[in-house]
């Protein structure tokens, strides 16, 4: 045993700190907790060798992930902001010229942008609202379900979550499609030859159904975890006091799950704003079903208008930031408590 | 619980199962239909055939489907592996070590997670064409890291925070070397979390469509979801419904198997990272 314990040579082995080695070199007793306490109590004591080693190791370990995230997201985003100030088509790269904010003016004064904006907003509000109600109902059933049933439900609900969005989009598309679909035969109030994809509102209905089917499980799992955190004795007390199911839901359950609901809402909203796959597969943006993400894709990849496409990307990014800030400020979602620290 | 209540719960449970599986059953049914059956507008096939599967595995559509399947598996697995290794290092540091910048790191991960990926498609398209990553495996693996890393970091941090780190010291007191203590005590506790994170990261990469259609142009790197969107029928006037459905079923099989085997862990991973944090 003594052979494995560093004695005086401990401090020179900072590299071995990766596994907490050398910890005993400074102090025979575990010192991490003491140090932390000392740091909290007395401002900034000089760093011990061990603390410095720990700090360097920590920075070293997080550096790769941090650099990748910055490199893959922040750098391209800055480049997009730069490119958005130019009139720049890939098909005519020589004619690239600085145009200032002209691209933004062009976009924001174009009805195409506002229609895509409205479509995205429409899809986001409806799907998130439906998913919240439906997801809560599913979570309640799973929460209360008989123990033998619970793993079955959990498995079933995970399948839509795990399936590729494109596959889900095809399934819903073919179900409503005139050539292959069965839905018209099953629905008494539409004719057998009703073409769902011939107009905007009915196309959007199918797009939203697919989106709702695919993403409700995520919400319901988050809400299920939230439900598990509602203190059971509070429920019991309310029940003893004669509160009805709805009263308990409103006064006990929901207030205690506010954090879980807000996080689910925020993440689903931001997710819905970038809706793309379903639209691409089902309508390819025809009949006024184009969303903002689709508009950005079409400008850049199909029309190769890098300047305009970049400007749309920046606007979409600002929109997402705005939504996140609104959630955090208005609804007081404490993300640092929910996620991470 | 009364019998009436019990029946009610079973009905509600059955409704959930039907809700979850209905579209899957439908695409499976479609994939087994004959060409004539595809236009009968019925839910179930009147006649079952394997022709659609033959078409995509050995037939005309195989040139489109098989390379895409190979790309999807390879790219998603490599992206998952890199993301999980980087996230494991990060989560270990976050949950175990004291160092400045922890908050910055977690905020960055949060910002990247809520980021609209379509926004970086335009610049990446441009950069990749300039430096030659357009239509290559790394050209997709790198953006997939942006999608998988934030989630992997949170999920793993949540798992790691629940590991009782003092146990390894206890093992050392009992005579194990530091390394032995780490390998024998901490690693077995950490592996389930790492594995769960890998599954969730794999699902994310497997699901990608935006990058798949924007940053590829040939079967050199185009993944399955993108290839599905570009399927064409035998003739211009024929919808590739059967072939698309069969391909959709094939790419769904691994997902369903993983869900069936690891449902408990996946749920723990998803909710740990998001709610408990």
For residue A4, being part of any structural domain is answered with no
- A191-239 pLDDT tens trace: 888 899 999 999 999 999 999 999 999 899 989 988 888 888 888 888 8
Residues of B in contact with A165 (CB under 8 A): 207, 209, 225
For residue A223, being part of any structural domain is answered with yes
ipTM: 0.92
Tell me the residue range of the domain where A169 lies. Answer: 110-302
Highest mean predicted confidence (pLDDT) among A23-37, A137-151, A211-225: A211-225
For residue A76, being part of any structural domain is answered with no
- Closest residue in B to A264 (Cα) is B274
DSSP A319-332: HHHHHHHHHHHHS-
Amino acid A91: pLDDT: 78
For residue A287, being part of any structural domain is answered with yes
Question: Which residue has better confidence, A58 or A45?
Answer: A58
CATH of the domain at A168: 1.10.3720.10
> Which pLDDT band, with edges at 50, 70 and 90, does A29 fall under?
very low
Amino acid A40: pLDDT: 53
pLDDT average, residue stretch B138-151: 93
Which of A68, A138, A341 lies nearest to residue B16, judging by beta carbons?
A: A138
For residue A117, being part of any structural domain is answered with yes
Indicate the number of domains in chain A: 1
Say if residue B53's pLDDT is above 60.
Answer: yes
Q: Taking a C-beta distance cutoff of 8 angstroms, is the pair B163, B190 a contact? A: yes
Helices (H), B97-117: 102-114
Q: Which letter does DSSP use for residue A305 in this model?
A: B
In chain A, the percentage of residues whose pLDDT exceeds 90 is 43
Residue-averaged pLDDT of chain A: 83
Amino acid B1: pLDDT: 67
Say if residue B276's pLDDT is above 90.
Answer: no
Q: Taking a C-beta distance cutoff of 8 angstroms, is the pair B72, B224 a contact? A: yes
- B161-204 pLDDT tens trace: 888 888 888 888 888 888 888 888 888 889 999 999 999 999 99
Residue B147: both structure tokens together: 């999608």
Residues of A in contact with B39 (CB under 8 A): 179-180
Smallest CA–CA distance, residue A119 to chain B, in Å, is 17
> Which pLDDT band, with edges at 50, 70 and 90, does A37 fall under?
low
Residue B222: both structure tokens together: 């185009």
- Closest residue in B to A260 (Cα) is B275
For residue A248, being part of any structural domain is answered with yes
Residues of A in contact with B24 (CB under 8 A): 159, 163, 171
Residues of B in contact with A23 (CB under 8 A): 169
In chain A, the percentage of residues whose pLDDT exceeds 70 is 84
Q: Taking a C-beta distance cutoff of 8 angstroms, is the pair B245, B56 a contact? A: no
| Neighbour tally for A268: CB within 10 Å | 22
For residue A268, being part of any structural domain is answered with yes
For residue A341, being part of any structural domain is answered with no
Name the least confident of A250-259, B144-153, B228-237: B228-237
Say if residue B137's pLDDT is above 50.
Answer: yes
Question: Which residue has better confidence, A261 or B236?
Answer: A261
pLDDT average, residue stretch A315-327: 91
Residue from B39, B118, B225 whose CB has the most chain A CBs within 10 Å, to mutate:
B118
Amino acid A9: pLDDT: 38
B202 φ, ψ (degrees, to nearest 5)? -65, -45
Residue-averaged pLDDT of chain B: 88
- A82-121 pLDDT tens trace: 989 988 887 777 778 888 899 999 999 999 999 999 999 9
User: Per the CB < 8 Å rule, is A76 touching B41?
Assistant: no
Question: Which residue has better confidence, B184 or A14?
Answer: B184
CA geometry: angle B42, B46, B50, nearest 5 deg:
110
């Amino acid at each position: 045993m003594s052979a494995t314990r560093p004695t005086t040579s401990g401090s020179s082995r900072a590299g071995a700190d990766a596994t907490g080695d050398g910890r005993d070199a400074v102090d025979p007793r575990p010192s991490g907790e003491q140090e932390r306490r000392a740091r909290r109590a007395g401002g900034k004591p000089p760093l011990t060798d061990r603390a410095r080693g720990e700090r360097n190791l920590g920075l070293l370990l997080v550096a790769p992930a941090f650099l990748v995230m910055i490199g893959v997201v922040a750098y391209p985003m800055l480049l997009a902001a730069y490119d958005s100030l130019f009139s720049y088509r890939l098909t005519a790269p020589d004619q690239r010229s600085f145009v200032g904010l002209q691209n933004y003016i062009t976009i924001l004064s174009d009805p195409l942008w506002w229609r895509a904006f409205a479509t995205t907003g429409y899809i986001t509000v409806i799907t998130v609202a439906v998913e919240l109600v439906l997801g809560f109902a599913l979570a309640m059933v799973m929460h209360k379900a008989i123990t033998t049933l619970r793993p079955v439900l959990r498995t079933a609900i995970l399948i839509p979550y795990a399936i590729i969005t494109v596959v889900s989009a095809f399934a819903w598309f073919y179900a409503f499609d005139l050539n292959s679909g069965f839905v018209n035969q099953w629905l008494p109030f539409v004719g057998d030859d009703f073409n769902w994809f011939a107009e905007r509102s009915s196309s959007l209905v199918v797009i939203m159904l697919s989106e709702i089917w695919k993403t409700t499980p995520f919400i319901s799992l988050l809400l299920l975890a939230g439900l598990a955190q509602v203190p059971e004795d509070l429920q019991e007390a309310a029940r003893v006091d004669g509160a009805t199911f709805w009263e308990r839901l409103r006064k006990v359950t929901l207030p205690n799950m506010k954090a879980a609901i807000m996080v689910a809402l925020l993440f689903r909203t931001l997710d819905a704003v970038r809706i793309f796959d379903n639209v691409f597969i089902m309508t390819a943006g025809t009949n006024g079903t184009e969303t903002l993400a689709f508009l950005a894709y079409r400008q850049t990849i199909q029309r190769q208008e890098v300047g305009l496409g970049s400007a749309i990307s920046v606007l979409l990014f600002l929109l997402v930031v705005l939504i996140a800030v609104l959630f955090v400020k208005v609804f007081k979602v404490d993300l640092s408590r929910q996620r991470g620290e | 619980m009364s019998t009436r209540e019990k029946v009610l719960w079973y009905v509600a449970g059955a409704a959930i199962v039907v809700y979850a599986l209905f579209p899957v059953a439908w695409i499976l049914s479609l994939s087994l239909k004959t060409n004539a059956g595809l236009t009968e507008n019925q839910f179930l096939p009147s006649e079952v055939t394997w022709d659609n599967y033959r078409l995509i595995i050995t037939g005309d559509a195989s040139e489109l489907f098989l390379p895409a399947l190979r790309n999807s598996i390879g790219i998603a697995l490599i992206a998952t592996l890199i993301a999980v290794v980087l996230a494991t290092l990060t989560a270990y540091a976050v949950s175990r070590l004291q160092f400045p910048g922890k908050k910055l790191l977690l905020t960055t991960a949060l910002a990247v997670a809520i980021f609209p990926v379509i926004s970086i498609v335009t610049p990446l398209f441009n950069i990749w064409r300039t430096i030659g990553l357009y239509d290559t495996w790394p050209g997709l693996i790198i953006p997939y890291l942006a999608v998988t890393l934030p989630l992997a970091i949170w999920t793993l941090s949540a798992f790691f925070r629940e590991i009782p780190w003092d146990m390894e010291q206890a093992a050392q007191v009992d005579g194990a070397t530091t390394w032995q203590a780490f390998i024998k005590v901490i690693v077995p506790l950490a592996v389930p979390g790492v594995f769960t994170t890998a599954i969730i990261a794999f699902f994310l990469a497997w699901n990608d469509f935006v990058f798949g259609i924007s940053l590829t142009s040939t079967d050199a790197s185009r993944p399955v979801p993108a290839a599905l969107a570009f399927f064409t029928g035998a003739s211009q006037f024929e919808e590739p419904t059967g072939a698309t459905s069969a391909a959709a079923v094939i790419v769904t099989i691994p997902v369903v198997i993983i869900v069936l085997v690891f449902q408990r862990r996946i749920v723990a991973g998803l909710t740990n990272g998001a709610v408990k944090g």
